[in-house]
């Protein structure tokens, strides 16, 4: 039995891949400023990383406070990608009833099960810990800030911790509906973020949570391994935050245009059903051998049968640059 079986996209190590539509990162790719900073990090890796991520934290506080409202440096915890923090959050929350609003990113359910929670796959505000992904992965659906605040209030009344994963929100036109500005008002709110999607840097592994809940912060800090964020990840993160908004705004414009193109092509005899998306990927249903047909041409897409409530006829594709999207559609029609 393969206990480490991969249940995500991006497996370019066991497949021959020339175009990867299975991972939903920024279609512009990793900025050269981030690459240069990460390389510089390797050059100084004869030292241990900064245990406190001090420079990175200061830059993030400056950025987040400007974009979302005042954020305290004491409310930020960095991790080796957001997934590490999802697992540690499940380890430290009291109680044993967890909930996810399925279909949703599979690691929430896996993390809850690893921490021995009983897991409901419905939006249950009476649970001890509820995960919501906004925009949702894999559907691309967006929940308004107004509705999320209502859910947060219900959770507070019931003693439930609400974890809102906003890893994709910077690539949408609704970034101003982030919940980060409410962290100081609700100690039952945890906002999960990552540099992975926004800056196309999944291999560097850099994520963080923002919460004013002292119990959660202190318990996570005690169980995280020291130096869990590498020098290259920290320096890459600082470089990303120093870039300003042009890179992200350019990506948003591209995503909106190319998502429209892909949807119009999928509607033209490819997809049986297309799920409305507000971010940089599209979920749809089609014939059950589409994954294999494309992989034979060196194109990797995400087969979604491992998501609760979905089947192997559900596929997710990233929104990429136009010439790459053209090649994907051409490959689908010619296979």
Domain harbouring 284, CATH code: 3.90.1150.10
Which residue range is the domain that position 194 belongs to? Answer: 32-237
Residue 9 falls within a domain, yes or no? no
Do 108 and 233 sit in the same domain of this protein? yes
Burial (CB < 10 A; 0-12, 13-18, 19+), residue 144, is exposed
| Strands 161-165, 129-133: pairing kind | parallel
**Domain for residue 8, yes or no?**
no
Q: Are 281 and 316 in contact (CB under 8 A)?
A: yes
Q: Are residues 228 and 261 in the same domain?
A: no
Residues 278 and 230 in one domain: no
Claim to verify: residue 189 and residue 292 sit in the same structural domain: no
- Examine residue 97 and state whether it is found in any structural domain, yes or no: yes
| Count of domains observed in the chain | 2
Model pLDDT, residue 127: 98
Helical packing angle, 54-68 and 231-242, nearest 10°: 30
Residue 25: what are its φ and ψ, rounded to 5°? -100, 170
What CA–CA distance (Å, rounded) separates 40 from 76?
Answer: 25
Which among 194, 219, 237 is the end of a domain? 237
**Residue at token pair 């890796």:** 45
Strand pairing report for 302-303 and 281-285:
unpaired
Q: Is the pLDDT of residue 9 over 90?
A: no
Q: How far apart are CA 66 and CA 170, in angstroms?
A: 14
CB atoms under 10 Å from CB of 17, counted, come to: 16
Report the alpha-carbon distance of residue 308 to residue 124 in Å, rounded.
16
* Residue 179 within any structural domain of the chain: yes
Is residue 129 domain-shared with residue 265, that is, in the same domain? no
Q: Are 329 and 318 in contact (CB under 8 A)?
A: no
Residue range 160-184, pLDDT digits in tens: 999 999 999 999 999 999 999 999 9
Structure tokens at 13: 């190590």
- The tens digit of pLDDT for each residue in 280-294 reads 999 999 987 999 999
Alpha-carbon dihedral sign for residues 90, 94, 97, 99:
negative
CATH code of 183's domain = 3.40.640.10
How much helix, strand and coil, in percent to the nearest 5, is found in the chain? 45, 15, 45
Taking the C-alpha atoms of residue 116 and residue 110, their distance in angstroms, rounded to an integer, is: 10
pLDDT, mean of residues 34-42? 98
CB 250: neighbour CB atoms within 10 A?
13
Q: Are residues 284 and 175 in the same domain?
A: no
* Domain finish residue from 237, 271, 289: 237
pLDDT band at 4; cut points 50, 70, 90? very low
Domain C-terminal end among 237, 261, 285: 237
**Helical pair 246-267 and 322-334, crossing angle rounded to 10 deg:** 20
Q: How far is CA 218 from the centre of its chain?
A: 24
Q: Does residue 1 register a pLDDT over 50?
A: no
Q: Which residue has the tokens 């982030």?
A: 178
pLDDT for the residue numbered 10 = 73
Contacts of 159 (CB under 8 A, 6+ apart): 128, 188
Residue 2 domain-assigned (yes or no): no
User: Same domain for 74 and 202?
Assistant: yes
Residues 187 and 102 occupy one common structural domain: yes
Asked whether residue 197 is assigned to any structural domain, the reply reads yes
Q: Name 227's bridge partners.
A: none
Same domain, residue pair 183 and 281: no
Q: Is residue 6 part of a domain?
A: no
Both 202 and 257 in a single domain? no
For residue 165, report the phi and psi dihedrals to the nearest 5 degrees.
Answer: -90, 115
Cβ–Cβ under 8 Å, residues 138 and 310: yes
In Å, what is the CA distance from 152 to each residue of 74, 149, 240? 22, 5, 30
Strand-pair partners of 209: 77, 192
Q: Do residues 319 and 282 lie in contact, with contact meaning Cβ atoms separated by under 8 Å?
A: yes
Same domain, 270 and 304: yes
Residue 6: per-residue pLDDT: 53
Average pLDDT in the 78-83 region? 97
Domain match, 228 and 179 both:
yes
**11 within some domain:** no
- Name the percent of the chain lying above pLDDT 70: 98
């Amino acid at each position: 039995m393969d206990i480490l079986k991969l249940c995500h996209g991006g497996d370019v190590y066991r497949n021959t891949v020339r175009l990867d539509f299975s991972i939903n990162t920024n279609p512009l790719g990793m900025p050269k400023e981030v690459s240069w900073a990460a390389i510089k990090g390797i050059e100084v890796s004869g030292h241990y990383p900064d245990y406190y991520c001090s420079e990175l934290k200061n830059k993030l506080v400056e950025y987040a406070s400007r974009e979302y409202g005042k954020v305290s440096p004491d409310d930020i915890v960095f991790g080796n990608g957001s997934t590490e923090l999802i697992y540690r959050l499940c380890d430290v929350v009291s109680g044993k009833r967890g909930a996810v609003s399925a279909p949703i990113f599979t690691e929430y359910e896996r993390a809850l099960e690893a921490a021995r929670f009983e897991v409901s796959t419905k939006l249950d505000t009476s649970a001890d810990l509820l995960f919501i992904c906004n925009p949702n992965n894999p559907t691309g659906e967006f929940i308004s800030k107004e509705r999320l605040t209502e859910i947060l209030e219900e959770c507070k009344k019931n003693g439930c911790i609400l974890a809102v994963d906003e890893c994709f929100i910077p690539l949408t036109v609704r970034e101003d509906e982030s919940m980060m500005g409410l962290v100081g008002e609700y100690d039952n709110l945890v906002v999960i973020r990552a540099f992975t999607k926004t800056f196309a840097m999944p291999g560097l592994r850099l994520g963080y949570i923002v919460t004013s809940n002292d119990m959660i912060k202190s318990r996570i800090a005690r169980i995280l391994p020291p130096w869990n964020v590498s020098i290259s990840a920290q320096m890459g993160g600082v470089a990303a935050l120093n870039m300003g908004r042009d890179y992200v705004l350019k990506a948003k414009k591209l995503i909106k245009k190319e998502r429209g193109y892909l949807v119009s092509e999928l509607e033209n005899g490819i997809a049986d059903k297309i799920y409305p998306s507000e971010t940089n990927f599209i979920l749809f249903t089609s014939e059950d051998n589409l994954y294999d047909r494309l992989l034979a041409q060196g194109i990797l897409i995400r087969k979604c049968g491992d998501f609760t409530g979905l089947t192997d006829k559900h596929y997710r594709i990233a929104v990429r640059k136009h010439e790459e999207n053209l090649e994907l559609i051409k490959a689908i029609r010619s296979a």
